[in-house]
Structure 1
Amino acid sequence: MSDHQRFSYPIMSIKEEYANLSLKEEYSGFIARKTSFLLAGFIFLLILVTFAVTVGAAELGMKDVFFAITARFSSLNVSDFTYGVVWHLRLPRLFLGVVAGAGLAVSGCVMQGITRNPLVSPFTIGISSAAAFGASLAIFLGSGLASGGQLFVVANAFVFALVCAFSVFGLANLRGSSPETLVLAGIAISYLFSALAAVLQFFASEEKLMAMVHWSFGSLTNSDWDSIAIISCTMLFTFPVLMRYSWDLNTIMLVDDGTAKSLGIHASRVRTTLLIISSLITATIISFTGIIGFVGLVAPHVTRFILGGDHRFLLPGTCIAGSILVIMADITGRCLIPPIVFPLGVVISFVGVPMFVYLLITEKEEFWK
C-alpha cells in the first residue's frame, strides 16, 4: 500500500472533523446572536415600561413611582393620589399593553406562517370584525360600556370572535384547510360581520352609537388587574404550545403540504391547531381592549427583519416587538394633547403604517420567506 493510500483516510477524517467543528461554532454564534437580540429587546421593553409609568397628565417622577410601588409591599407612606395613579391607572394600563401587544403580535406571526402570506393578521381572518359585532350587539341590547355592562360586552365579543374562528375553520376544512382557503374564508366572514355591525350602528341611538365606535377604536382605558390575569393565563397556557410547533412552522413556510407530509408533518392538522390557538389568544385580548388591528401585521415583519424566519426565535421576538409597539403607541397617545388620550388603535396605525411601508419598499421578496 502506498503512503498516499495509507494516510488519505485519516487526513479526510481530520478535514471532516474540522468542518464539523466549524459548523458547530457557526451555529453556536448564530444562537448567541439571536439570544442577544431577544435579551436586548426585553431590556428595552423594561426601560420603556419604566419610563411610561411617569408619563401622563399627572406629573410623577421616578422617585414618586418608586415610592408608590414600594408602598404596596411595605409600610411606606405615600399620598393616596400618587398611589391611586400608579396602581389603579398606569400600571394596569401598561401591563395590559404588554400582554395584549405580545398576544396580538404572536397571533399574527402564527397566522402568517400557516398561510404563507405576509399580509395576514387576526384582522384579515375576520376575528376583529366578529368581536366588534359581538360588542356592538351587546351595547345595542342595552349593556353599554358606560352602564356597568362591560362584562356582558366582553363576553359577547369573545364568543363571536370564537364563532368567527370556527366558521373560518369549518369553511376552510371543506377544501382541505389550505392556506388560500383560510384567507378567502376569513375575508368573506370579515365582510359579513362588518356588514352586521354596520346595520346595528345604523339603528342604534346616539349614545349607543358612540359606545360602539369608542369600542371599535381600541383602547387600554378600561384596564384592570382581572383582565390582565385572564390574558396572562391564556398566554401562559398557549405560548408553550406555539413554541412546540415552531419547527413545524419553519417547515410549512419553506415547503408545500405534500413535501411537509413526506417529512412527517401533517400540515393540515398543524394549520388547524395553530389557527384555533391564535384565534383564542386574539379573541381573549380584543374582547377587553377593542380592535387593535395593526400589531399582528407589523410586529412579525419587524422581528423577521432583525431575527430572520426561524420561529424558535421569531415567536418570542415577536411578542417583545408587539409589546414595545403597543407601549410606544400608548405613550404617544397620552402625550400628544394631554389630558386627552388618543385611542390606541388610531395611534398604532399612524406608528405602524410608515414602518410597514418602509419594510415593503426596502426589503426584497426573500424577506417574507
Structure 2
Amino acid sequence: MTKPTAKPQGTASTADYHRHTLRKYAVLLAAFLLLCLCFLGSLKAGSAEMGMGDVLRALLHPSEERDSLIVWNIRLPRACIAVTVGMCLAMCGAIMQNVLRNPLASSSTLGVSQGAAFGAAVAIVYFGAGAQVNNVSGDAAVSISNPALVTAFAFLGGMGTTLVIMFISRALNAGPAVLVLAGVALSAMFSAGTSLVQYFADDIKVASVVYWTFGSLGRASWTQIFFTAGIAAAAFAYFMYNRWNYNAFEAGTDAAKSLGVPVAVLVPISLLVCALISAVSVAFVGVISFIGLVASHIMRRLLGNDMRFLLPGTALCGATLLLLADIAARTIISPVVLPIGAVTSIVGAPIFLFLLLKRRVHA
C-alpha cells in the first residue's frame, strides 16, 4: 500500500497564514459594521423619540422639520465627534503601549490627559478662553470662546507630561509598574493644579473649567469635528506607515535596533503625535478616560499584536466604545445627559484594576 504523500510544511504554513489573515480581516469588517450600527443608534438615542425610519429619512433628506433639525444640529455632530475622538484616544493607547513596552499605558493612565486638562484650565482662566453666552432658550451658559488657545495649552500640558514619562522610562529604565505609579502621581499633581487654578478664578471662569472638565460631546462644532478628523487621519497615516517598525518593538528595543528601526527618532515622534491627538481631544470634549486602554486590550485579544490589524481595529473599537458610552449617558436617566467622562471612568476604572491585578498575579 502506498503511503499518502505528506503535505509540504511550507504549503501548510502558507495556508495557515492566509487563514489567520482572513480571520483578522473578518474581525475588522465585523468591527466596522458594529461601529455603523452604533452610529445609527447614537442618532436615534435621545429625549426626543424617533424611529430608525425617521432618523434615516432626516439624514438622507435634510429639511426644516423637527426630526431633521435634531439629527443634523444635535445628534449628528455628537456622533461624529464621538467617532473621531474615540479613534484618537484608542490609537494613542495602542501606540503608547507599544513604544513604552507597557500594556497599561494610555493617555489617561499615564497622566497625559490630566496634563492637557491643566493646560486647558490655565488657558480658560488666565488667558480668557472661557466666556458666558446665552443658549437657545435664553439662559446663561458658559462656553470655550477660543478653542485654538485651549488646544495649544492642552498640547503643552500633555507634551510636558509625555516628556516626563519618556525621561522616567528611558533615563531611569523604569518598568511598567513604575510608569503606572508615575502616571498616578502626575495625574494627582495636575488635578491639584487644576483645582488651584479654579480656586483663584471668578465664577464664570470656574464654571467654564468645570463645564469643560466634565467631558461632553454636545458642544463640538463642525469646524472642531473636521479639525479633529484631520488630525486623526494624519496620525493614523503616520502610525500605519511605521506599522512594521512597531511590530519590531514587540521583540524588544534592542531587537528593533538590530533590525534597523530608528528607535531614537520613532519613539519621541510617536509620543509627540500621541500627545497632540490627546490634547486636541481633551481641548474639544474634555477629559475622557480609559477608552485607549480598554479598546486596545479588547482588540489585542481578537487580533493579536500585529499593528497592521491592531491599529485600525483599535481605532474602530475606540469609536464604538465612545458611541456606546454616549448612548448610555443620554438614556440612563433621560432627559438628563450624564457627563461622558464620568460614564467612561465608571466602566473603565474596574477594567484597569482588573488588568493591574492580572499582571500582579502573573508576575
TM superposition score normalised by structure 2: 0.85
Q: Which residue of 1 aligns with 2:113?
A: 128
Q: Is the 8 A contact 2:116 2:154 kept in 1?
A: yes
> Identity across aligned pairs (percent)?
34
Q: Is the 8 A contact 2:130 2:145 kept in 1?
A: no
SS of equivalent residue, structure 2 residue 267: helix
- Distance (Å, rounded) in 2 between the aligned partners of 1:299 and 1:98: 13
Q: Which residue of 1 aligns with 2:8?
A: 18
Question: How far off its partner does 1:224 sit?
Answer: 2.0
* Worse-superposed segment, 239-248 or 160-169: 160-169
Unpaired segments of 5 or more residues in structure 1?
A: 1-13, 73-77
1:144 aligns with 2:140: no
Unpaired segments of 5 or more residues in structure 2?
A: 134-141
Q: Which residue of 2 aligns with 1:31?
A: 21
Structure with bigger helix share is 1
- Distance (Å, rounded) in 1 between the aligned partners of 2:307 and 2:337: 35
The equivalences for 1:199-238 within 5 A come to: 199-238=196-235
Question: How far off its partner does 1:87 sit?
Answer: 0.2
1:267 aligns with 2:263: yes
The one-character-per-residue Cα deviations of 1:60-87 (angstroms, maximum 9, x if unpaired) are 1122212212223xxxxx5532221000
The one-character-per-residue Cα deviations of 1:162-210 (angstroms, maximum 9, x if unpaired) are 3541564378469856773994876665454333212112222344323
- Distance (Å, rounded) in 2 between the aligned partners of 1:303 and 1:175: 25
The equivalences for 1:110-129 within 5 A come to: 110-129=95-114
The equivalences for 1:175-194 within 5 A come to: 180=174, 183=179, 190-194=187-191
- Match of 1:165, as an amino acid? M
Q: Is the 8 A contact 1:45 1:323 kept in 2?
A: yes
Question: How far off its partner does 1:95 sit?
Answer: 0.7
Larger Rg: 1
Q: Which of residues 221, 243, 249 is equivalent to 1:246?
A: 243
Q: Is the 8 A contact 2:119 2:157 kept in 1?
A: no
- Distance (Å, rounded) in 2 between the aligned partners of 1:19 and 1:360: 40
- Distance (Å, rounded) in 2 between the aligned partners of 1:297 and 1:199: 29
- Distance (Å, rounded) in 2 between the aligned partners of 1:65 and 1:115: 44
Question: How far off its partner does 1:323 sit?
Answer: 0.7
The one-character-per-residue Cα deviations of 1:292-341 (angstroms, maximum 9, x if unpaired) are 02111111111112111111111111001101110110000000111110
1:337 aligns with 2:323: no
CA RMSD, Structure 1 to Structure 2 (Å): 2.9
Q: Which residue of 2 aligns with 1:53?
A: 43
The equivalences for 1:65-80 within 5 A come to: 65-72=55-62, 78-80=63-65
- Distance (Å, rounded) in 2 between the aligned partners of 1:305 and 1:362: 15
- Match of 1:293, as an amino acid? S
SS of equivalent residue, structure 1 residue 180: coil
Question: How far off its partner does 1:145 sit?
Answer: 5.0
- Match of 2:67, as an amino acid? T
Change (3 A) 1:340 1:22: same
- Distance (Å, rounded) in 2 between the aligned partners of 1:55 and 1:329: 12
Q: Is the 8 A contact 2:131 2:143 kept in 1?
A: yes
- Distance (Å, rounded) in 2 between the aligned partners of 1:308 and 1:151: 43
- Distance (Å, rounded) in 2 between the aligned partners of 1:29 and 1:311: 18
